[in-house]
Amino acid sequence: MKPTKTKRVASKMASTDEAWESGRLGCDESSVRVAGPELESLVDESLGLQAISIRLPRHLIEAYKLIAAHHGVGYQPLMRDILQRFVPEGLKEVLQEHEIRAEAASKRIAESRKAA
């Protein structure tokens, strides 16, 4: 008896994760295709990404590549991750400094009003 289309798709889908993880799928040149500008733009837009250009010392890039390879990721995603971890603390520091300055300015204004 010939399996129905639904059964064939279901069995194919069930083994897809394993096939990708084991490398039976996607690890040869026939699986590779360069994304066109439209697809690249759609991916960037959907992920909220914007391309930038930055010059970094070669030794820093090589260090990122080494660390990224150790963790099984690309060096650019690693850079994004590190920046995303830094930014909240950096923003917190900036906001605290502005709060301190605003409080000091408020005190000076209050003192000048008392003196007047």
pLDDT (tens place) for every residue of the chain, 116 residues total: 555 554 545 445 545 778 778 877 778 787 788 888 899 899 889 999 898 999 999 999 999 999 999 999 999 999 999 999 999 999 999 999 999 999 999 999 988 888 87
Query: Where would I find the beta strands (DSSP E) of the chain?
Result: none
- Residue 5 counted as domain residue: no
Domain count, the chain: 1
- Residue 8 counted as domain residue: no
Domain extent, residue 75, equals 53-115
- Residue 107 counted as domain residue: yes
- Residue 11 counted as domain residue: no
d(CA 83, CA 64): 13
- Residue 37 counted as domain residue: no
Cβ contact 75:61 at 8 Å: yes
- Residue 45 counted as domain residue: no
- Residue 103 counted as domain residue: yes
